[in-house]
Every structure is written in structure tokens, then in C-alpha cells.
Amino acid sequence: MAFAEDCYKVCERATADYHKADNVDAPIQNPYDPALIEHTLYAKNWIDAVQWHLEDIIRDPNIDPVEALAIKRRIDRSNQERTDMVEALDTYFREKYASVKPLPDATINTESPAWAIDRLSILALKIYHMLAEVKRTDATPTHLAKCQAKLDVLLEQRTDLETAIDQLLDDIAAGRKKMKVYRQMKMYNDPDTNPVLYGAK
């Protein structure tokens, strides 16, 4: 199994496991050894699954404003955790390919391997939920047809993205691409760089 396909399988498993309880407060039961990259991938997708459903909940037009604010704060924390986890994945790749000497004409990719895997994780969630729409028995034929067409596109995106990730990793391993990681350096969560936060001190 190719690496990207293995990543998807881990994300797919985490998505399915989350939906056994389908509760944003359900505790994670990560089945992978913490020393393995699969452990991080599983945890990353679990965060994505929880955030997916928080985004659904907060869009309830009748939601209590106080509850909505609490969820918005939770989503902000989740976004930071997600970013931290992606950067941990990129650290793994940087260390893995540390001994590779880039070729003289090596180029830089538009995104790092981990951010591409981040998109693959979200794609696993999109496919899961679009498939659920396709299987609905209370929806109109028009709705089912639209969702099936969208599902077909998502499945094609999965194939393309897995191929692109494996090609990128092959290029890095061969020195054709430079393994370079830029931290996100988000300023709004940092009390030292968000004027609203440091102004309130």
C-alpha cells in the first residue's frame, strides 16, 4: 500500500470511529502506538471530525448566543491544535529526509507534505458525509443525484491527491524537491502579537 493510501485508511478509520458515538465530547480511543505516525494521523482526523460537527452545531439559527460563543472559542482552540499537529507531521518528514541532499535544480513545492495530508484528512470527512447523503431514504431523487455527482468528484479528488502526495514524497526522497517547512506563525492566538490581547493586559 502506498503511503498516501495508508494515510487515508487511517483517517477513514478515525472518521468511522468518531461516528460510532457521533458526539463532539466523546473521548478519543486512539488504537495506534504513540511512536507511530499513524497515531498522529488518527488524532489529527479526530480533531477534524470534532471540528466538522462543531461547525454544524454553531450554524443552528436558534442556538443560544452564549453557547455559540463558547463553541466559537472551542473551534479556535481546535484550529490551533490542528495546526500544531500538521507541523508535528512536517517535523516527522523533515527528520525522515534530513540526509537527502537536494539536487542543484531542486524546486520547492507549493505546500508541504503534511498540509497536503491535512487536505486528505478533510477529504475523508467530506466523502463520509456525502456518502451518508447519497444513502438517505428521506431525500428527493434530485438531492440524491446531486450528492452522487459530488461524491464522484470527491472520490476523483482522493485519487488525485493520494497520487500527488506520493509523488511529492518520492521527489523529496530523490532530491528533486526540497523539504522545507514554514511554521504558520498565527498571530491572533498569541497574546504577544494580537493587539486586542496584549492591549488588555
Q: Which residue has the cell 530523490?
A: 174
pLDDT at 189: 67
| Mean pLDDT by groups of 10 residues along the chain of 201 residues | 94 98 97 96 98 96 96 94 93 95 95 96 98 97 98 98 98 94 69 74 58
pTM above 0.85, yes or no: yes
pLDDT at 192: 77
Taking the CA atoms of residue 74, residue 80, residue 86 and residue 91 in that order, the dihedral angle to the nearest 10 degrees is -140
CA torsion sign, 31 to 86 to 187 to 72? negative
Cβ(181)–Cβ(94) under 8 Å? yes
Q: How far apart are the first and last CA of the chain?
A: 53
Query: Using CA atoms in the order 166, 172, 174, 175, what is the torsion angle rounded to 10 degrees?
Result: 160
**Domains in the chain, number:** 1
C-alpha grid cell for residue 13? 478509520
What's the domain range around 174?
3-198
Q: Report residue 85 as a C-alpha cell.
A: 499537529
Residue type, 111: E
